[in-house]
Amino acid sequence: MAAHNNYVCSVVPPYLLTALADSEHNSEEIRTSARHCLEFSKNYISKRQRVFAELTAPRGARGAAAPHRHQGFIPDTLLKHIAESEDVDEDTRSNARRDLEHIVSVQAKYQETQGIAAEPKTLATLSASAPSKAETTYRAVYDAHNDQNENNLPGTVVRVEGQKAVSDEAANQAFDNAGNVLSFYLDIFGWKSIDNKNMNVISSVHFGKYYENAFWDPEIAQMVYGDGHNFLGNFTNAVDVIGHELTHAVTEHTSPLDYTGQSGALNEHISDTFGVMVKQRVQDETADAADWLIGEECLMPGVKGVALRSMKAPGTAYNDPRFGKDPQPDNFKDYEAISDDNGGVHLYSGIPNKAFYLSATAFGGYSWEKAGKIWWETLQSGQIPPRCTFIQFADATVDKAEELFGDDAAAIVRKAWNEVGVIRKKHA
């Protein structure tokens, strides 16, 4: 398998971890830790490749498998736990009982139609033929106990929907910030949870020893957070990071984009875009007032930098001899095909990121009012192919801007793409 396919989507880009691992300015302990994080990422690539192959395969294609989505643990077990917990408020217990009763009835009907008298099927098994009509999105946070064996996820339950804050601050942050992301999608776009069907949102904190990353696992469909180490950490307290990762799941349910090359960079761009909008909403910032930084909470004290990425000025987020300078280009003229990082999915996301920043600030107001709505409706349009190029995506956003807000809006979006070098060629 090619080396460039050895990374799962995660908020800390592989080029930063590689720089940590290679820099002679770092101790051997730090370099070993960074190499360990990179090596662990290799375990997930087969999952991501399989998931996107399923999601982007043409319907009816010979040999194409139906997408297999599940939720990290058996949902009816979670509902039973919530329904019986004395730590949960009565409204949430009532909702859990209601949804649990619905699941039981769905299972019974399924078994009846299939002539099954054996043990009940789980909701995950039933989802393809009899999806749940749950009216509540349930969050749950687990403690991975610094175990880096993904087979042991999610871990031990720490906090569930309706339960008050617990003593583990990382668990509270993961729980609350997942709620901020969910409320953003629901309130702004009318989108329920990450699949528009109130899918449970599961998180595991304290994953691995000194694990310097956070990621969405696409196969077990849950968030995973490491505690970090000397330079990178604090992932659960970064709402834009959580927004970024959960948006990868939303993208799976809107316009799945192959995680390679330009389409993969667009996949990363969409996560950065919606992640930063979540942060701006939480902080009540207009596009003009916002800093447009991704992961500013994740750089530990003493690091020479401001964030993991800058959407406003790609390539300026950090410059530290211990892991180098932010390598993101901000213009398509600097794009070249590479083999690392799945074809540069993290590296080149800065180009469309800046186009969104330019669009949002040109429109003014809150970023989600016009620019965000254009990008969201573009994802819903059915016009984004799995191997979408930058110019295809640019054209689609321009068309959507015109449809939603008229010619002037379309001109603003086109100008933003032109400024980052994504220009529609003119033919004589």
Q: Which of the residues are catalytic?
A: 245, 346
Residues in the chain: 428
Query: Residue 222: beta bridge partners?
Result: 217
In 3D space, the residue among 344, 119, 124 whose CA is nearest the CA of residue 219 turns out to be 124
Strand ranges (DSSP E) for 256-400? 293-294, 309-310, 319-320, 324-325
DSSP string, 167-199: S-HHHHHHHHHHHHHHHHHHHHH---TTTTS--
> Which secondary structure element, helix H or strand E, spans residue 270, and what is its range?
helix 261-282
Map tokens 């998931």 to a residue: 51
257/8 Cα distance (integer angstroms): 14
In 3D space, the residue among 26, 125, 28, 45 whose CA is nearest the CA of residue 342 turns out to be 45
Strand ranges (DSSP E) for 299-416? 309-310, 319-320, 324-325
**Residue 54 structure tokens:** 């399923």
408's CB contacts (< 8 A; 6+ apart) are: none
